[in-house]
Structure 1
Amino acid sequence: MQMRIVGKALIAAALVMGAPATVNAQATDYAAQFDNTLGTEVRAPRSFEARYETPLAKQIAMLADGSNGRIGVYAIDLSTGQEVGVLEDQFFPMASTSKVAIAAAYLAGVDAGRWSMTSEFRLPRPGGAYLSAQQHLDLMISKSCNACTDALLNAVGGPSAVNKWMRGAGIEDFHLTRDIATLVREDGRIDPATVVDVKDSATPRAMGQLLAGIYQGRWLSAQSRQVLMNAMAETTTGKKRMPAGLPQSASLAHKTGTLSRTASDIGIFHTPDGRAIAAAIYVTGQSSSMASENGNRNLKLEARRQRDSRISSITGALYRGFGGQEQNRRVWTNADVGGE
């Protein structure tokens, strides 16, 4: 799979790796830069065994086979700190998973007294109704309402304000550049399966750390944290993604994202003994090319099914692996039946 890179920092890292390799500290630094940019699977400088040293890591790496498109995974046990990842430091399109960060930025403003959950904002469209912030937030998370998202995004001050809040939270690898209406309008110009684009993108690690901090109450009041977690627990999109890989007892709270040739799901679920796991999964491609997928409806539907299935299988493996369950079987719920 050939890969193109978009963004000044990424281009610079790629150009650095084009220089002849030398065995010195400088070359080691370059290798680290490349790993963070494209992931070790692209140039495979180390053995599979060395890169994925635990049984769980090896299983996730096999399930995240990127031969038909890039797949990024990051998960952390919030009780033990155990982590697992595949391309966890590579940028992927956030799509609607960015709505968690937008909601958090708004809730932080509520905690600071700048606005409230009863504040009303107009839907940004002709004749748009005024809804309360609580209504906007519930709909943008649980139903993935784009207009509601842009209403709250406008309220906090736009993408730059969300980026600023994320930097203040200590999360750097997150770049929101457009409102959702613009993002959707410009979708399909770049193939995320073969191109790394930093616009409106984040790394799986960054999104996993965002979820971890929200769940652990690092940045939001207990009331604001509960507002966001409740909305995520009511998510109805992506029934064949994370929900399909988990039993109902896992108490999943999550947010999905979908754009051309990309599907994602980020969430918090619980092991049988009650430990919380924060996970972020981003899947691109899974068909031969963007052109073929867009030109064939059946192929497009199959590719979407494959992306959802990847997320489901990886989620199930994370649940069993972190939970200490060795049985090699999928865990199904009633949510596995039906569309997104």
Structure 2
Amino acid sequence: MRSLRFRLMSVALLAGALFAPPAAADDLERAFDRVFQIKPAPPGGLPPGTVLPGGVLPAPAPAAPGAVVPYGNGFEARLASVANASHGRIGVAAVDLSNGKGISVMGDQPFPMASTVKVAIVATFLDGVDQGKFHLTDRFPIMMPLPSRPGSGPAPQREGPIYSATQLIDMTIIHSNNHATDALLAAIGGPRAVDRWLHKAGIGGMRIDRDIATLVRDDGLVNPATTIDLRDSTTPQAMATLLAGLYQGQWLSSGSRAVLLSAMSRCATGSHRIRGLIPNDAIVGHKTGTLNNTASDVGIIRTADGRNIAIAIYVTGQGSKPGRDSRIASIARTVYEGYQPQLTAMRDGGMHTSSIAR
């Protein structure tokens, strides 16, 4: 009964955000932060190899405290330590775009994309712009979700106010507006259109199954800290590859690339995630994701010495939303330091690196 009351309270609290005008619902991630808390795993867990409905698998058990981590010394060892998954699954992938050197922890394991999927959705729309299918001045109605039962198939929606594609892209990336995202998704032909674009781009390990209204409505049915739901998931390595290619102009025109990267540079969510411990002289363009018991942040970090780092961080568990945010910030700082040899040398030599603290 307590669980039922919690779910009913969650729906009631979210209803105001879901059906509010766009200006009041720009950051639906904050609504999730207020409502959802960590849920315990099922008693006794799930037997290894169990397959649940919808392509859902039990997650591998975290390493026991004190277990030897299969990473070397230095940068890899520090990253493996800060991304320790003893309190929930954590996946990280990063690549230095100046030399192609990459690093990852559980980088090939699927994680919920949550709102980080919006990078792929906007990229697919912008590819349509490059092909002449759309124009940034085209206008589309935002899509407003209607009440429906969780797990009952695609969530019904109705058309709302009309905005230009440029406005919808900004609403999607900067403010994580779900209604605007579904407007772009409807325009390009739904989740399968994004999957086709990812396939064309050669991005494996990432899949889009539901629109955002359905994803939000069904959130909480699976605990991502203990279970892998393959729907709407990505591996950190796949997301890092997507980010690197977008930054390097592999799939979009220079104009479309600029539209996406500009919006990411103005992202208004997740101030305590990647940006939390990154120094002021670094530039961050990113996109956050938040759902029940999971938080993520992905993007490009331009370091003080001119390096560009594509980074994807997916965190589950950690006991609370602040715990997940803090873990993302620590991981991002570790990656930032690791890709700058002078900072690594200072740290390994025991010197205090106060210049990067904030």
TM-score normalised by L of structure 2: 0.76
Find the partner of 1:267 among 283, 299, 302: 299
> What's 1:121 paired with?
140
Distance 2:194 2:52 in 1: 20
> What's 2:190 paired with?
158
Distance 1:9 1:57 in 2: 35
In the alignment, is residue 196 of structure 1 matched against residue 215 of structure 2?
A: no
AA at the equivalent of 1:132: S
- Deviation of 1:191 after TM superposition, in Å, equals 0.3
SS at match of 1:248: coil
- By percentage of residues, which structure has more helix? 1
Alignment of 1:136-155 (within 5 A): 136-155=168-187
Distance 1:127 1:9 in 2: 28
SS at match of 1:60: helix
Deviations 1:61-111 (A, max 9, x none): 100111110000000001111111110000000000000000000000000
Matched length:
291
Root-mean-square deviation over aligned CA pairs: 2.4
Aligned in 2, Cα 1:11/1:180: closer, same or farther, shift over 3 Å?
Answer: closer
> What's 1:60 paired with?
79
Deviations 1:28-75 (A, max 9, x none): xxxxxxxxx959x6699x953xx3124111111100111110000000
TM-score normalised by L of structure 1: 0.80
Aligned in 2, Cα 1:62/1:179: closer, same or farther, shift over 3 Å?
Answer: same
Alignment of 1:288-307 (within 5 A): 303-307=320-324
AA at the equivalent of 2:80: A
> What's 1:213 paired with?
245
In the alignment, is residue 97 of structure 1 matched against residue 105 of structure 2?
A: no
Distance 1:207 1:102 in 2: 13
Aligned in 2, Cα 1:71/1:244: closer, same or farther, shift over 3 Å?
Answer: same
Identity %: 46
Distance 1:176 1:225 in 2: 21
Does structure 2 retain, via aligned residues, the 8 Å contact 1:78–1:277?
Answer: yes
Find the partner of 1:179 among 170, 186, 211: 211
Deviations 1:250-280 (A, max 9, x none): 1100000000000000010022220100000
> What's 1:295 paired with?
none
SS at match of 1:211: helix
Aligned in 2, Cα 1:194/1:11: closer, same or farther, shift over 3 Å?
Answer: closer
Distance 2:212 2:289 in 1: 12
Distance 2:175 2:264 in 1: 10
AA at the equivalent of 1:131: Y
SS at match of 2:222: coil
Aligned in 2, Cα 1:127/1:150: closer, same or farther, shift over 3 Å?
Answer: closer
Q: Structure 1: any 5+ residue segments left out of the alignment?
A: 15-36, 288-302, 334-340
Distance 1:72 1:273 in 2: 26
AA at the equivalent of 2:264: M
Does structure 2 retain, via aligned residues, the 8 Å contact 1:117–1:132?
Answer: yes
Does structure 2 retain, via aligned residues, the 8 Å contact 1:75–1:278?
Answer: yes
